[in-house]
Amino acid sequence: MRALLRILPVIVVVVGLATPPLEAQAREAHPRWSVSTSLTFPLVRIYQVYLNYRIDDRNEVSIGPAFQNYRHESFTANAYTLIVGYRRYLTDRVSVEAELYPAYNRLYSNVTESYHPGWELWAEAKVGYTVDFTDDRLFLHPAPGIGFGIFQSNPPPGFFEEIESPIFVPQLLLGVRL
């Protein structure tokens, strides 16, 4: 199972790039810019905002800030994060996505009662579905996926025992097209 979770991002990228282009649609194209935020991540003390740019009918890139303040038994995160993402639409509504989360994290250790500042990198591979509301301006985008840690430069004691990687990511975005 762990091997499958490690190869999932590669599968997402290959499927996305191998999909043929969409045929012309009868409806007007969505505006190129949108802003979105997660409805689910604040439940675990992760706050994020995405600025999305629709390159064409199939491809969208995103960038945005995030602050992670999640807690575990032996440590608390204080991560200032930059989100960089790519979304490939397979149909008008279904997409595959990849995101990187480079961050500067001042982890506070309850064991040493001190900060462990350092750099980290997380990634997520997701499958999403867009639901439009109010003349296609407002949208919901459920995008469950798998998140995994790639790098952590200064982990406190207990970090690797408590952190889950890979982990299921129940992402639900609420956004508005500009």
Least confident range of 22-26, 66-70, 130-134: 22-26
Q: What is the mean pLDDT of the chain?
A: 89
pLDDT digits (tens, 9 = 90+) for 47-98: 999 999 999 999 999 999 999 999 999 999 999 999 999 999 999 999 999 9
User: What long-range pairs does 85-89 form, CB within 8 A, spacing at least 24?
Assistant: 85/50, 85/61, 86/59, 86/60, 86/61, 86/62, 87/52, 87/59, 87/60, 87/61, 87/62, 87/128, 88/16, 88/17, 88/19, 88/58, 88/59, 88/60, 89/22, 89/57, 89/58, 89/59, 89/60
Residue 126, burial from CB neighbour count under 10 angstroms (0-12, 13-18, 19+): buried
29 membership: H or E segment, kind and range:
none
Q: Determine the pLDDT at residue 4.
A: 46
Q: Determine the pLDDT at residue 6.
A: 58
State which CATH number among 3.20.20.70, 1.10.8.50, 1.10.3720.10, 2.40.160.20 fits the domain covering 2-17+34-177. Answer: 2.40.160.20
Residue 20 has pLDDT above 60, yes or no: no
pTM above 0.75, yes or no: yes
Average pLDDT, stretch 153-164? 95
In the chain, the percentage of residues whose pLDDT exceeds 70 is 84
Domains of the chain: which residue ranges? 2-17+34-177
Q: Determine the pLDDT at residue 169.
A: 94
Residue 16 has pLDDT above 80, yes or no: no
